[in-house]
Amino acid sequence: MNSAQDPFQVQVQKLKADMVAQGVRVRELVGASMDAVFVRDLEAARRAIALDEQVDRVDVELEKACVDLLTRATGVGAQLEPGQLRSVLMIVKVNNELERIADVGVSIGEMCGVFAAQGQALPSTFRVLANSSLGMLRDAVTSLDRLDPELARVVLLSEETVLKFKHALVRDVQQQVSQGKMSVDLAGALHDVAMQCVNIADHCTNIAEQVMYTVTGKIVRHMQGHWEEVNLPG
């Protein structure tokens, strides 16, 4: 079958392009929310949060388009290849992951008020952690755009780095609180955002897993401290 002329595959490619655009949109939302927190800009935080409205709309549109595509294909008795089915499943699952990452971005933006009320400098480890999670999101979307399993593996391995930076930030915050250099309110807000960065990393690994599944037909699981590709049974 010439996939370039296959109407089903053409529609899948369009949906994939729309999903990549959604990924870029989500990355912009999260990045804008984090920037607002760093500069303590409440208006910038409100603008970032407002981006979620379009994310939610596109999320519903993509979900509906995938259902309609499969409904039409099965209605005419189309014999879909495994790779075609994996592509549609990837779009549905990644679409959900992106929507949840956007929700995390909204949560970060909503915490801007807490940071704005504090006049203390933010630890440098905070920016490093934020940049690391944003880097994972960037690479996850790029691996999706290119259907690049090698870049997807980089995303999986990057999760450990984000966790290390999160632990470094927590230690830094605890030390500053114990020395009276940081308020408990600011420490709590930093901890909350750190956990949100970890949530972003977790969603990014889910996207990377879907990319690898689509390209290789293998599922990826985190086993005993490392990532392992597993053949599907049957």
Question: pLDDT (tens digit, 9 = 90+) per residue, 194-213?
Answer: 999 999 999 999 999 999 88
Q: Which residues, in sequence order, are CB contacts of 230 under 8 Å at separation 6+?
A: 218, 219, 220, 221
- Class of the CATH domain delimited by 7-231: mainly alpha
Angle, CA of 39, 43 and 45, to the nearest 5°:
65
* pLDDT in the model for residue 3: 45
Please determine, for residue 109, whether its predicted confidence score (pLDDT) is greater than 90.
yes
pLDDT tens track for 24-83: 999 999 999 999 999 999 999 999 999 999 999 999 999 999 999 888 877 766 677 777
Cα(206)–Cα(2) distance, integer angstroms: 30
Task: Report, as an integer, the average pLDDT of 3-14.
Answer: 78
Look at residue 2 and tell me whether its pLDDT is greater than 70.
no
CA nearest 97: which of 193, 223, 202? 202
